Every structure is written in structure tokens, then in C-alpha cells.
Structure 1
Amino acid sequence: MDPARHPFDMDDDTAEELARLLAPLLPSSEVAGEDLWRSLDPASKFLADRYGRWACGWNWSVAEGDVDGGVVEVWCCSSHSVTTPDATAPLIVEALRQWRGWLEDLTQRFAQLTPPGNVPVVSTDHWYWERACTRLVTVVAERTHAESGWYRHCMQVLRWFLAYSGIDEGQAQAIVENAVGGRFGSWTAPDVPVVDAVSSRFAGGVGEIR
């Protein structure tokens, strides 16, 4: 998901051109209503082919949308956001911009939160990992409004951070699952004691890597 590997420059002229390219790929609202899960597949494939797999998250909207628990606010879901192709295309472009902005924001946060260089992961003070987990959980809860399924994206972001910090994918998944493990729920932002407990378990999991 590293934005640096997939350059993305979207000024207003480029956005208008992209909307023109997307419009012929889009369904009418009637077709979208009949086939909610597949009606936008051509548009998603086009964006992924053009910009990279990261673009598939363009419709990961807040709350109960096409995919629960995301951060995109301009898009709701196929049944509500799809109207005419000419009106829907610019909406998709803006949703893509929002998703990209979030990924770039996360990358900056990862750079700030990752432990100092030249320090082995296992010897790094737990404080770094606790701080990182606390701040990332907090910002994901804010950006998703802790709506339906928000914790799934939160766990994904924590795995991304561990991968960014050089931790194996399998180990990262185990660390995050053990740390979160049912402690977060839909429509509820975690309170401070819960976040502290998750962050402590997160740091402990990193510390157990050998």
C-alpha cells in the first residue's frame, strides 16, 4: 500500500479527464440496484490497472457502505451513490482522492512512529510500539467515526505499520489478532483503558519476536 511505489498526481484537469474515462464504464442506478456487488467492478478494475491495487479501496466508505468500516466520506454505496454515469464518475474520482489522501497520511504517521533506525525490532523499547498502537487506533477510530466494522480496518492499519517496520506478515497478523482479539466493536469508539490494554498487548507481541 506504500504510496511511494505508485505515484499519483490528481489536479483538477486530470480529475476531469479521469471522470470522462470512467463514465462509460458505469451502470445506471437501476442496474446498480439489481447487481450491487458487481456493477462497479469495471470501474474498480480500470482504476487498479491505471494506478495500482491501492486504488481498489476507493469505495471503502464510512459506516455500512459497499465495504464496512472505511474512511471515504463522499461515497456511500452503490444503491445510494450511483445515479447517472456523468454524475457518478466525478464522485468516484473524489472518493479515490480521499482514499489516496488517507494512505499518504498513514505513510507519514508510520515514518514518525516507527522505532529509530539501526535498532533491532526485538531490542526496541516497548514504549515505541505502545505509542504507535495507541496513536494509530485513535486516528482510525476518528476517521472511520468508529462506525460499523471500523475495527477491521484498524487491524489492517496495525498490520501495515508492522510490515512497514520490517516485521514478517505472518507474525504481524498474529500480533494484531492477539492484541485486539474482540476488544473493539462496531459503533463504539474504544475508551482509554481498552486502548491502553490493546497497545500493551501489541507491544508485548512485538517483544516476543525472536
Structure 2
Amino acid sequence: MNAPGNDPAESVAPDRPLRFDVVTRILHWAMAVLIVTMLFLGAMLVGSLGNYHRVLILHETTGIAVLILAVVRIGNRLRRPAPPMLPSISRPERMVAAVSEVLMYVLFVAQPVVGWALVSASGAPIRLLGGVHLPAITPHSAHLYHLLRDLHTLLAFGLLAVFTAHMCAVLAHTLLLRDQLLSRMTFTSIRRERG
């Protein structure tokens, strides 16, 4: 195993790794899987004719998992600052990246909270896998339900747009610029070092 700071793929300075720490990488990929699952299940709910209640329970469970993981990620991000940006990332792109990161965290929290409030306003019980029931966080109200449903849909499209833009930016850096941006969030060198 290389000593800290001796592997150029792992650091730019002996005390400041280029790569995100392992906990951040695990949280990142877990969140990516949950977000894709949540969006997919949400789309299934719109066009579902059968198994609606089963898909709804999966969607609600995934949404609460996203909310919990988002809070954990925010805490982790505050404790563990990101490594320095790559030189290939321009100043305007750095500003866009910073704004999009904040926007993603806001959406990670807002989308499931609005979904929880939406179900609460409908008067239906909030059921998760394993028979867990969550308390209502808004009063039963048809008017509020319709407002929250529209907001939930709007946030879903916003989350999809930001998530897609994030993936496209990473792919552009990986395939066009070849600046190893993606390697900051992968585990390849960990496997190489162990082997």
C-alpha cells in the first residue's frame, strides 16, 4: 500500500487528498441508487394500473431513506470538506458546481418532506416496508393535498434535471476532457492498492 501522499491519483498535497474520503464515496453512491429508485418508482405510480399500493409503499420507503441519508450526507459534508477542485475545472464551472451541489442537497431533503406532507394531507396512512407507520405532518386537507401534489411533481422534475445535469457534467469530464474527475468518487485505486 502506498504511503499517504505518494500516489498522485490519491492526493495533490500530502495532507489534502484529491479523492473524496471513503465514507463520502459510500454515501454518494448509496444516494445515487436511492434517487434513481425513487424517481423510477414515482414514474411507476403515475402510470401504474396494478400493484399501486405496493409501489406506493416502496416509493414512500425509498423517500424516507433518501431523507435520512440526505441528513447524514449534510452532516458528513460539514465535517469533511471536499478535496480541491481539479485544475481543468474553470472558475465559472466551479461556481455552477457549488450552486448545483447546494441545490441537490435542498432537493434531497425537500422532495421527501413534501411527499410525506402530501400523503399526510391526503388523510391516507404513511406506510413503509416492514409495517412501519409514520405520523402525519400536515392536517388532512384536499386543498393542501392538491398544492403539495403539484409541488411534489415540480420538485421531482427539478431533481431529475439537476441529477441528469450532474451526470452529464461528469461524463463530459470523463469522456471528453479525460481529467479523471469521476475517479474522485470511485473505489478503483482502493482495490488496486489492496491487490
Same-fold status (TM-score > 0.5): no
Higher strand share: 2
- RCO higher in 1 or 2 (8 Å CA, sep ≥ 6)? 2
> TM-score scaled to structure 2, two decimals?
0.30
